[in-house]
Amino acid sequence: MDMKTYIEMGEKRAGKQSELAKYLNVRYTTIGLVKSGKRGLPEALCIKLARYIDEDEIKVIAASNLVTEKDEERRKIFESCFSRAASVTAAAIVISILTLIPQSTVNALNLNSDFTKIQIIGNWIAEKEDEEKVIL
């Protein structure tokens, strides 16, 4: 996501842009500049905004830094925050699904099937981690 989206989420929660500005203790015009992509927010305000809209703090910080960062290597680092958070979220979802599967009598067929699912998921996570290493 980009800062415009995060600001819009904050505006929706606050009711209007001026109320979000009050919550973040910034000028109304600052919110407009951030939303238009002309300025980012300091990290502390990114964290405050992320908590307000119930988003991942690192993603909001990365999105804010991408607004102004010109160095391509640093941009790749900030962009990797989005894929890392997505792979961690996916792993958490998979683990929660696997723990919610009803327990049944273990037999060779079930063991093989569950093992295959776990192996496929493990391979997918490993591929995502390898992609992140290439980005960094």
Look at residues 26, 46, 68 and tell me which one is the last residue of a structural domain.
68
Burial (Cβ within 10 Å: 0-12, 13-18, ≥19) of residue 35: buried
CATH at 43: 1.10.260.40
Candidates 12, 11, 6; CA nearest to 59 is 6
Q: What is the pLDDT of residues 59-92, one digit of tens each?
A: 999 899 888 888 888 888 888 887 755 555 555 5
Look at residues 24, 48, 68 and tell me which one is the last residue of a structural domain.
68
pLDDT score of 94: 53
Give yes or no: residues 63 and 95 share one domain: no
DSSP 87-119: HHHHHHHHHHHHHHSPP----HHHHHHHHHHHH
pLDDT score of 97: 56
Candidates 46, 42, 32, 44; CA nearest to 4 is 32
Candidates 37, 56, 36; CA nearest to 46 is 56
Give yes or no: residues 90 and 56 share one domain: no
| Radius of gyration for the alpha carbons in the chain, expressed in angstroms and rounded | 20
Give yes or no: residues 88 and 36 share one domain: no
Tokens in use for 14? 């606050």
Counting the structural domains of the chain, the total is: 2
Give yes or no: residues 86 and 50 share one domain: no
Give yes or no: residues 47 and 19 share one domain: yes
Note down the domain range covering 112.
72-135
Provide the pLDDT confidence category of residue 19 given band limits of 50, 70 and 90: very high
Q: What is the pLDDT of residues 85-127, one digit of tens each?
A: 555 555 555 555 556 656 555 455 554 555 566 666 666 676 6
